[in-house]
Amino acid sequence: MPRPRKKGRRRELKKVPRSTATLEEFDRRSCPEGLVTRRQLRERGLCPGGHGPVAVLRCKYCAYRPDQSCNHPTRAWLYDVKNARPKRVPTLAQEWALDRAMAARSTCPQCLRRYYFCLPLRTQGCCDPCARGYEPSPDTYFASTAPVIHRLAA
């Protein structure tokens, strides 16, 4: 049975009177200097640094209803710049180091194949195909790092 539609009633969000019990709310124009949104933090290369939001940036719509709390999805959390910390950006060297570490964990020391997954090197010491003596399926390892067969130059 279809639900009867309520006529003449616009879908309205719950009206909550503005109070100081929850986080403080600021309008876009009167937002204090030290409070920024997540996006602004990111633009400055910062992260919240483990601290939660300290205030709410009210949506544009709520500028016309200052007595109500903004509970619209377009509101934004405001973070205190003082609590923010620089975002850790991996340098190229760090990425290489990470890749080397990953390569070490996914390369079999016996057949020198580099697999797409980590190997049980600590327990088994080599890949499954080496341990049990079968040929691995070619889609489990990088073709370029397959054992190099040295051919004599013709």
Q: Which residues bind Zn ion (CB under 5 A)?
A: 59, 62, 70, 72, 108, 110-111, 126-127, 130
Indicate the residue type of 41: L
- The nearest distance, CB 59 to Zn ion, in angstroms, is 4
User: What is the closest distance, in whole angstroms, from the C-beta atom of residue 87 to Zn ion in the complex?
Assistant: 29
Question: Cβ 107 to Zn ion, closest distance in Å?
Answer: 9
Nearer to Zn ion, 91 or 137 (CB): 137
Least Å distance, CB 122 to Zn ion, is 15
Residue type, 140: T
In DSSP terms, 141 is beta-bridged to 115
> Residue 26 or 49: which CB sits closer to Zn ion?
26
Structure tokens at 18: 């503005």
What SS3 state is found at 80?
A: strand
Residue that the structure tokens 């489990």 belong to: 140
Distance CA(152)–CA(19), nearest Å, equals 82
Q: Kindly tell me which of 52 and 120 has the beta carbon lying closer to Zn ion.
A: 120
- Considering the complex, state which of residue 51 and residue 72 has its C-beta at the smaller distance from Zn ion: 72
- What DSSP element (H or E) covers 43? helix 38-43
